[in-house]
Amino acid sequence: MKKFNLNQITILLVSLVLLTGCVEDDNFDIPTQAIAGITSYPNANAQFNTISAVLGNFGTGNGDAVTYDEASATVTEKYTEGYVVSSDEGGNFYKQLVIQDKPENPTAAIVIQVDKNPMFTQYEFGRKVFVKLNGLSVGESNGVIQLGRLEGEDIERIPSTLVSQHILRADEVATIVAKEVSISDFNDALESQYIRLTDMQFNSNLIGLTFASETNDSFDGERTLESCATGGSVVLSTSTFSDFKGLTLPANRGTIDGILTRDFFDDFYTIYINTPEAINFDNALRCDPLFEDDFSQGNLNKWTPYNVTGTQEWYYNTFGNPSDSATMSGFSGGAQVNEDWLISLPIDLSSVPSAFLTFQTVKRYSGNDIEVFYATDYNGGDPTTDGTWVPLAATLDTNTGSWSSWTDSGQLDVSAAAGGNLFIAFKYTSTSASAATWEVDNIKVSAE
């Protein structure tokens, strides 16, 4: 189970205000008088570094930040270049600039921490910039590689007086084409790139809510986006300081463009948008599942936990993806022998010709994998004797060292139950030698 210590919480309370908040006085306009730009590096002998090379430079530092020496008579000026894909015009980004190496089909992107606000009036979306690396450091913060000034072991913001010396505005303003990807494509190489997800919608439990102004929103509103094509999900994060925090989430489905990053604790991927115009949900036909449970109701009321062997049972857990899950562990003062089933209440498939199941899992510690089954004839008794249980070949989490390695199950065909009732079951087993912890979340049964 994920635990946060007091220091982490303190860092969250202080840093999120600073990093993702936005001052209220953000009614800025782009100057009518064009700011002069340049077409190339001011020093013809400067050394060019791709963004990929800058990222790779950090990779050679064994996890420590790497600093570029100040330019001098003996040290060459070093630069990288890229196109701005973030904008603080909507208040969802604060004192940072995100650039990627190409306006279309980028291969790398990076965050630059700056002690300046606003940025969009000079470094607007699509603007090409040259970044002088001398005196800057590349390191990792909250799971994301960033450029800034090194203070102790931390990457801090470039002072406002030095921003114009390090980030040079080019003449070119390119049309940024969002990189179309799937949730299953997410990886470290995609971080900070401007991406597009297609055929998405907000979870039906969120309809009618705002982006980030509900009573339980603290610093960021986290809203689950679902893929109608695969059943996968990802979190959209919106700063509670953004201009559009009070807008209602769109109820339809469609495309969304934003920057892929990590949450504050580096537990899961999340997306930040520049403005609400990045969401184009123009399809009124939603793909709501026939059954779903993200356990946000705080219980297992849609399920029957059945203990066959042992004293441990499936239980509701406040941790999940992004929160809440059904959890099972056979560890209690040591590994215990268990067989425990989590069985859904009947799911009505009487009106559909075919259907599929999707869910997500995370596994910690060594032990048996859970097994997944479906049945059409379960009557509520001991599942080892009641019901004809058919196994399903699900993809499960294999990273036992992380609470954030949430894994999509893939689409599991349960069409054999069409025309009647469907029961889904997760079977957990442990031994006296090993007892893994399993969390299951975002379970859905959808019509084809």
Domain with CATH 2.40.50.140 in the chain: 179-283
- pLDDT at 73 > cutoff 60: yes
The model's confidence at residue 383, banded by pLDDT at 50, 70 and 90, is very high
The pTM (predicted TM-score) of the whole model is 0.71
Sheet strands (E) in 22-156:
47-48, 66-67, 78-84, 96-100, 109-113, 127-132, 137-141, 144-151, 154-156
Q: Which of 294, 291, 415 is nearest to 347 (CA)?
A: 291
| Cis preceding linkage at 118, omega within 30 | yes
Q: Tokens 């040591």 map to which residue?
A: 334
Q: Which of 255, 233, 256 is nearest to 184 (CA)?
A: 233
Cα separations (Å) of 372 from 153, 392, 415? 45, 5, 15
Quote the pLDDT of residue 2.
35
CATH says 291-447 is which class?
Answer: mainly beta
- Average pLDDT value for residue range 275-282: 98
What b/e sequence results for 110-135 when a residue is b if at least 16 CB atoms lie within 10 Å of its CB, and e otherwise? bbbbbbbbbbbebbebebbbbbbbbb
Give pLDDT tens digits for 165-187. 999 999 999 999 999 999 999 99
CA distance 260 to 270: 6
Quote the pLDDT of residue 364.
96
Residue 155's contacts (CB-CB under 8 Å, 6 or more residues apart) are 65, 113, 137, 138, 139, 140, 141, 146, 147, 148, 149
CA distance 312 to 301: 18
What b/e sequence results for 149-180 when a residue is b if at least 16 CB atoms lie within 10 Å of its CB, and e otherwise? bbeeeebebbeeebbeebbbbbeebeebebbe
Please give the residue that has the higher pLDDT: either 60 or 155.
Answer: 155
Quote the pLDDT of residue 205.
87
- Mean pLDDT for all residues in the chain: 91
Q: What are phi and psi of 389, to 5 degrees?
A: -95, 125
Q: Which of 220, 225, 219, 232 is nearest to 207 (CA)?
A: 225
Q: Which of 406, 426, 442, 441 is nearest to 338 (CA)?
A: 426
Domain with CATH 2.60.120.200 in the chain: 291-447
**CB neighbour class for 102 (10 Å; exposed up to 12, middle 13-18, buried from 19):** middle
- The architecture CATH gives domain 179-283: Beta Barrel (2.40)
DSSP state at residue 413: E
CA 164 to chain centre: 32
Whether residue 242 contacts residue 212, with contact meaning beta carbons closer than 8 Å, is answered with yes
Whether residue 168 contacts residue 38, with contact meaning beta carbons closer than 8 Å, is answered with yes
Q: What percent of the chain has pLDDT over 90?
A: 81
Q: Which tokens go with 172?
A: 């070119």
Give the DSSP H or E segment for 123. Answer: none
What b/e sequence results for 371-391 when a residue is b if at least 16 CB atoms lie within 10 Å of its CB, and e otherwise? bbbbbbebeeeebeeebebee
Q: What share of the chain is helix, strand, coil (3-state, %, to 5)?
A: 10, 40, 50
- According to CATH, what is the number of the domain 19-173? 2.40.50
- pLDDT at 28 > cutoff 80: no
Q: What are phi and psi of 183, to 5 degrees?
A: -60, -35
Whether residue 214 contacts residue 206, with contact meaning beta carbons closer than 8 Å, is answered with no
Give pLDDT tens digits for 124-148. 999 999 999 999 999 999 899 999 9
